[in-house]
Amino acid sequence: MIISEIGFIGAGLMGAPMAANLLRAGFRVTVHTRTRARAQPLLDAGAAWADTPAACAASAGVVITIVSDTPDVQQVLFGPSGAAGGAQPNTIFIDMSTISASATRAMAQELLELGMAMLDAPVSGGVQGAVDGTLSIMVGGDAAVLERARPVLEAMGRTIVHCGPNGQGQMTKLCNQVAVAVHMIAAAEAIVLGTKAGLDPAALIKAIGGGAAGSWAINVLGPRMAEHDFAPGFMVKLLQKDLRLVMQAGSELSAPLPGAALAHQLYAALEAGDRGDEGTQALISVYEALAGIAGTES
């Protein structure tokens, strides 16, 4: 069955451009978000508005959720006027948030009992990847359901990987966040050491970014660190939410995660300074403070 109608719940920094790409791909999109004004550009581009998650799901073959945290997903799916109560049998729910893997498995089972299917499909690639439609999408769930939904995902991402049954997309994303956070530590330390040594940060980043040290943190966020441009592509408070999920998973699996734990504490220093809404590259200011370098906050 060809999927043509999409219900889309959440229109934040990531969700809004993802929904816009679905519209450009020719899907009919109905959107719901807590603040209608945030969805206005999508409505101007041809999306329909739904007052509730249930109404958003009513005629959709696929319902996509991308909201902040586990309780938010549970609320929009199963709360009062929740999407699961308004959807038709055989609807595919695709949660593209980053949330608890165990909660995801429980929600998938509940939807299955209602005659529906769920994919957990968190993403990586930042706001620019969402805008460009080049996200990496990590999918947990039934492989046959993924194939039915693949054209929808291909409108938003370039790399779509089936990671296993429900919950394994979320576990893959948590592994991604471990790598992201530890790479951010490495980038910040390298740039601060170079600054203390009198190196030009731009030259340093160019030199090491082309070799074995190259990474998203160095090549993309390194220049923003050096320029003290802390506008968010991905906010500190959202990475911290993800790192809490990482530490919970590590505890449940008896997997030591000392690098992720260090990142979690260093980012806590930013949150303590009321900087949770800044971009994750603001981590460099913590290292500058430790090194006695006078930085410039954005």
Helix/strand/coil percentages in the chain, nearest 5: 55, 15, 30
- Are 3 and 25 a contacting pair, CB within 8 Å? no
CA angle 215–184–220, rounded 5-degree value: 45
**Which position among 173, 196, 206, 241 bears the catalytic label?**
173
CB proximity list for 84: less than 8 A, separation 6 or greater: 57, 77, 78, 93, 110, 111, 114, 116
Residue 162: CB atoms within 10 Å: 19
- Are 68 and 238 a contacting pair, CB within 8 Å? yes
Known active-site residue 237: no
Backbone angles phi, psi at 230, to 5 degrees: -105, 20
- Residue among 194, 96, 99, 181 at smallest CA distance from 138: 96
CB proximity list for 186: less than 8 A, separation 6 or greater: 213, 215, 217, 218
DSSP string, 247-262: HHHHHHHT---HHHHH
Q: How far apart are CA 65 and CA 282, in angstroms?
A: 28
Catalytic residue positions? 173
